[in-house]
Amino acid sequence: MSDMTKPRTLRSAADLVAAGLLDPAAEAAVAEVAARYAIAVTPAVAGLIGDREDPIGRQYIPDAAELLTLPDEIADPTADGPFSPVKGVVRRYPDRALLKPLLACPVYCRFCFRREVVGPDGGLLTEAELEAAIAWFAATPEVREVILTGGDPLMLSARRLGWLVGRLSAIPHLEVLRIHTRVPVADPGRVTPELVAALETEKSFFLCVHANHAREFSDKSAVALRLLSRAGVALLGQSVLLRGVNDSAAALEGLFRAMLRHGVKPYYLHQLDLAPGTARFRVSEAEGLRLVGALRGKLSGLGIPAYVKETPAGGGKVPVGGG
Ligand code: SF4
């Protein structure tokens, strides 16, 4: 296939209209949204979208409602900023810290809690900044776990990722490496043997895959996940409870069963953070507790994640309902 005919990632309102995923009447409003929050819909994801209001379309096709910020919505709902000892690092707990090597993602989720900062041009740490971040981990022996997030760390080239995993693995007191990613479901073609080889480490290693609906586990995604699990990568799942995407017991059961079928242990179900312009996705905690409660007895304990929320001002995760 030539570069001209190869399907490409849709990155604008006009692209979405041309692909038949957006009504031309909505193009101007969505272009206004795009000026504020990035758009990306990979060919793999576009192929799963029936219409903009189905469980996949809702996650990725912008809506004019995103322009409306409610009084309780905040730009940095997890309060990464105040907890950053050095650029790219966030430490909220004594024993673990985040490292954000870049802020680009394969897709841009309309409910993203870091939507004010993620984007295609955003946040690639320079060589010197990455060295400073690695030096911070090396000089902080209480931190035993590094969580690579962003953005999506699997957007790095295999060479760069392998270098970073190698450098972090060489820090003696780091016991666990974890990567949070959307790539295996949103852009599964990026999961190549080279990328999988880049994740090799002697440390304990977990890949935490973000998915919110069973249909995200496409045939291509299954191939990517199999490649990872056959290489010995332990797979965890994280999801966000979202209105119109997975706000029924049947949708959640389908999602967690799909994860289990693909070797992914459901780890966290997140209450939606109060990021700007995300009101259309909100599900109340009371409803969330009822939905998660309805899964007990239907799914084995292996299939039920912890239902958690962020506490305000960067206090960290706590179980919803105090459970
Ligand atoms: S993949 Fe994660 S960081 Fe990127 S837009 Fe989606 S929720 Fe945000």
Tens digits of per-residue pLDDT, 85-134?
999 999 999 999 999 999 999 999 999 999 989 998 878 999 999 999 99
pLDDT at 301: 93
pLDDT at res. 1: 52
Q: What is the pLDDT of residue 157?
A: 96
CB 12 within 8 A of CB 34: yes
How far, in Å, is the centroid of ligand 1 from the Cα of 261?
24
Instruction: Ligand 1: list residues with CB < 6 Å.
Output: 105, 108-109, 112, 114, 118, 151-152, 182, 210
Distance of CA 217 to the CA centre of its chain: 15
SS3 for 21? coil
Looking at the CA of residue 113, tell me the nearest atom of ligand 1: 8
Torsion angle of alpha carbons 221, 223, 226, 227, nearest 10°? -110
**What local confidence, expressed as pLDDT, does residue 212 receive?**
98
Using one digit for the tens of pLDDT, what is the confidence trace for 242-283? Answer: 999 999 999 999 999 999 999 999 999 999 999 999 999 999
Q: CB neighbours of 247 closer than 8 A, spacing ≥ 6?
A: 241, 283, 287, 291
| The predicted structure's pLDDT at residue 74 | 83
Measure 171 CA to ligand 1 centroid, in angstroms. 28
Q: Which two tokens stand for residue 150?
A: 């962003």
Listed residue (148, 82, 93) closest to 316, CA to CA: 93
Q: How far is the CA of 56 from the centre of ligand 1 (A)?
A: 14
Give the residue, out of 108, 180, 239, with the most ligand 1 atoms within 8 A of its beta carbon, to mutate for a pocket test. 108
Low-confidence ranges of the chain (pLDDT < 70): 1-5, 314, 323
Q: Whose CA is nearest to atom 3 of ligand 1?
A: 151
- DSSP state for residue 125 in the 8-state scheme: P
Q: Which residues are paired to 98 by β-bridges?
A: 90, 147
Positions of E strands within 100-223? 145-148, 176-181, 204-210
DSSP helix/strand/coil, 210: strand
Structure tokens at 96: 């673990």
Mean pLDDT (the chain, rounded): 94
Mutate to test the pocket of ligand 1, among 66, 90, 114 (most ligand atoms within 8 A of CB): 114
Cα 42 to ligand 1 centre (Å): 13
Q: What's the pLDDT at 5?
A: 65
Give the global pTM.
0.95
DSSP 8-state class, residue 124:
P
Would you state the pLDDT for residue 278?
Answer: 97
